[in-house]
Amino acid sequence: MKVILVVVTIGLFGFLLGKFIKHKSLYPFMPFRYDFRKRRDTFRKTLEFLDKTKARLIIETGTSREGLHGAKSNGAATIVFGKWAKQNNAFLHSVDISEKSVANSQKEVTNQDLGKIVQIHLSDSVEFLRNFTEPVDFLYLDSYDYSDDREVQIKSQHHHLQEFMAIEDKLHDNSIVLIDDCDLPNGGKGKLVVAYMLQKDWKVVMNEYQILLVRKSFSV
């Protein structure tokens, strides 16, 4: 009986330790319970760059359709960068083509009291970016969903390239670009856009599940 109790206790301890090690929070910036897993380190570096460059205008393509509860699955970037914007006198535009995604994201933005800082637009992202007229300090590309289907993968990669090309001339020397869902079969969302950027004057700072890029001349 005693042996069984010891084995169960060790097993439970190991399970909890494993969970704790895998859990990647953005604490103290975000509450500890939210697990940002594969995006945690790139988010952290991006937040550091946003601080250093004193970013004022952020654009996100593809909004947080699962609110903050989607931290592990989708990233919850609308809330993470919206919160940063609120604390730093900045503004976030988030654009999404789906009414449902916009409604869900808007609900969370309101819950988090970010309504004056985050504006969610219902539009195709490329069209939105083409019509945008202000300088952009941080561009986060995370719209057209990637999947296992090769045709969808190609469409998603082209869409993210089109997004970048639509807003490219609004990016300045210290702009930051982050692309989601990259470390996936056949190159993920960033395959074409990263190749395009590297031919221009951009460099990769972090290459993980997300890819973080700045200009070669970036200085902070």
Q: How far is the CB of 205 from ligand SAM (least distance, A)?
A: 19
Q: How far is the CB of 8 from ligand SAM (least distance, A)?
A: 38
Nearest to 113, CA basis, from 85, 140, 74 = 85
Q: Smaller CB distance to ligand SAM: residue 88 or 98?
A: 98
Nearest to 85, CA basis, from 46, 135, 131, 37 = 46
The CA-based dihedral angle spanning residues 212, 28, 77, 84, taken in that order and rounded to the nearest 10 degrees: -90
Q: Smaller CB distance to ligand SAM: residue 97 or 194?
A: 97
Q: Smaller CB distance to ligand SAM: residue 65 or 215?
A: 65
Interface residue list for ligand SAM (CB under 6 A):
60-65, 70, 74-78, 95-98, 101, 124-125, 142-145, 159
Q: How far is the CB of 35 from ligand SAM (least distance, A)?
A: 14
Q: How far is the CB of 179 from ligand SAM (least distance, A)?
A: 11
Q: Smaller CB distance to ligand SAM: residue 102 or 218?
A: 102
